[in-house]
Structure 1
Amino acid sequence: MDLSHELVRNPQSGWEEKFRLGYSVAQRAVCGDTFRVLLREGEPELKAKKIAQMFYQKRGLRLPVVSLLSKMPVQDTREFNPENGAELTPPRPFNLMFQTQMGASADPASIAYLRPETAQSIFVQFKNVLDVSRKKLPFGIAQIGKAFRNEINPRNFTFRSREFEQMELEYLCRPEQGMDLLAYWLKERIKFYEEIGISRKRLHILDVPEKERAFYSKGTFDIEYEFPFGRQELEGVAYRTDYDLQQHIKASGKQLDYFDEETKERLVPHVVEPSAGVDRTVLALICDAYDEDSAPDEKGKMETRIVMRFHPRIAPIKCAIFPLLRNKEPLVAKAREVQALLRPHMNVFYDEGGAIGRRYRRQDEIGTPFGVTIDFETLGEKGEELRDTVTLRDRDSMKQERVAIKDLAHLISSKIR
């Protein structure tokens, strides 16, 4: 079951506090840039120290000593920015959520936040979904939508940004099913990335150690991808137990339990959550698909060809239609017929501008897997046996074959699947 929910939320349950409190930022006294001292309430100290040390190491310190300033007072200590030697000012509070006001008056009661994740919207609507759908455990509620975080250093193109698209599944189950379903969903999510065309050799699974997991998690796996800027997380698959629903029960005073009609038992379901970034997945697809090779131009001279090797099922445009010459009306008319024939079955693109080789290259660069050329053979000028056939070109191999127009839709559709 999928779900849509609001982007702005009132801070009624305890989950917002995990984002809003517990962060501190050190400011560089000279240049004015800011960065996180990376300690969140409930986050293991070992993980916070490790991340902070990595931050300083990337900026030139071989063996940085990290003090968790938001956990304990530090006296008689001065810190410096390793990039330019500027003395760092003391930490100050930082809000990871975007705050706004709802209603006509701007008072504390009207404070709301743009949601920093989509998951909590699912938990808020859990009872409504359960009552309407009458699902039996285990079942899932999925959502894809915008989330917003006040990132200090957005970077690496679309990998880390303040506004991003998230897709999450809260798979609700009985407590004894949790660990088995964690393994099941890890396998399914790896299978998903392979099916959309991401190379398995560039995907890595990190079994997050207990000391580095969120305190409520009984098991967490990170699915990572080898981006050009390093191995980074694409998705987390976590067994969150019943923590989220219990928090909403405490904050709302409402019962969010499940009644098993067979056993006559009431229980608060546990949750296994695959949580992925859509923008990161698209970026991984682009990085994985990009390739360069050599191909002859229209004069037979070898040149560098840029090609996006998207899997056909994920390519934005499935097939391009080319009349061999734009100034020959019979060719153009037949090409338009082929376009009309394929359009109900897939996303197609019509292009009649420039030499045919240039048109092939343009489609290679945007990842279109197939190209159909309407030529004089299609019109029967070189034999009736070739009438109403076209040239079907494969993007990756650049091989061409003659195909009857009536067979095009079925043949290309089978290759896309």
Structure 2
Amino acid sequence: MPFHPTAGDDRPLLILVASSYWVYRAYILESVSARYRLWLLNPTPPTWEDPYIIGHTVVDCLDLDKLIDAALAVTREREVAGVFCYDEVYIETSAHLSAALGFPVLDPDAVARCRDKTATREALTAADLPQPASKAVATLEAARAFAAEIGYPVILKPRNLGGSLGIRKVERPDDLAAAFALTDGTRMGGIRQFEDYVIVEEFLDGPEISVDCVLSGGTCTPLIVARKVLGDGPRLAFEEIGHDVDANDPLLTDPAMRDTLQRAHAEVGFTDGFTHIEFKLTANATHIIEINVRLGGGMIPYLGLLTSGVDAPLAAADVAAGRVPRVSFPKPRQAASIRFAYPPFDMEVTAATAHRELAEPPVHEMAVGVQPGAKVRLPPHGLARTGYVISLAPTLEETRAAVPDAGRYFTFEGRPLEPVS
């Protein structure tokens, strides 16, 4: 699209790789565009992104050669400060793009080490940091052998996917074959493929948390702690159906947690960028589950904005531009809970309704996350978050009580989809 510069606009220009779905991502561009101009490289033409970008190029963001060519075309006419990406699908190609353009942020080797859960395990083992026993396997026989070694229940997960796709908990040996087939069959075109693709992992009992961190020059600064709310039942088990964020969470300032975060990032070699690192809190240790080199999903950064004013997207953009991130917590500290809505079955949506008449304080906002005509599948075959509701109050006790689940706030109608074979 043609670019018509605005007089006096001296905001640095970032190349944004992919934009994702507006309902859950628009707040990111709203924050970042206040300080930076954005040129979007995206597989499809922009729609909702238009108010936040100065130009775009339609390109396959998983084809590195085409991605680099598109970016170089931008750099020939404009000075570019860095590469910005918050979508896990495209983070590895974004890292290689950043390196090709000569930027030190998003080191490709460190990003690959974090994206590959087995490589992450190997790096963290060297630092003797607590983590579950884990092994990548290529066959059902190898999965059976390792599961027998560590004991049931076990977790099966794809080696380098996110969003809870393909994750299964296996309670007993008789259930392993079906779970292995499902996990092994959950793949995404365009990203690295491994022969030993299925990870068999020790099941740890305890609550799960995540910490969103910004890193600059090797220094790790935690910004947001989120307490995960997990689903249950055959379709939503291990699905993150919500998050609770308290801006006064003691883990934000806990010296042991800060030391763990600093050491973990050092071991994987990630020094500049943004991470969403996940933990399991057991009775005797804080175990690292995975390190994701991106902003947290599930609108966690937005909950940080609501509860303390900390602007994680802007901090991530600062680092991408080669700047020391400006981190502040300007708002009075509060708590927030988000719960996601799901359709009753795999469907092609014909109607989606948010019952806003039910939104009494401390319910803060709600939104439908799907349009008629969309085809949505429940986990583990898809990420069917079809809406969300957020509550905001001084304490988590209040926010949790206000939104025990999102189902009552939405109605979804549709035609059933054919089962996944």
Q: Check whether TM > 0.5.
A: no
Normalised to the residue count of structure 1, the TM-score between the two structures is 0.27
Considering Cα pairs closer than 8 Å and 6+ residues apart, tell me whether 1 or 2 has the greater RCO.
Answer: 2
With the length of structure 2 as denominator, give the TM-score of the two structures: 0.26
Larger Rg: 1
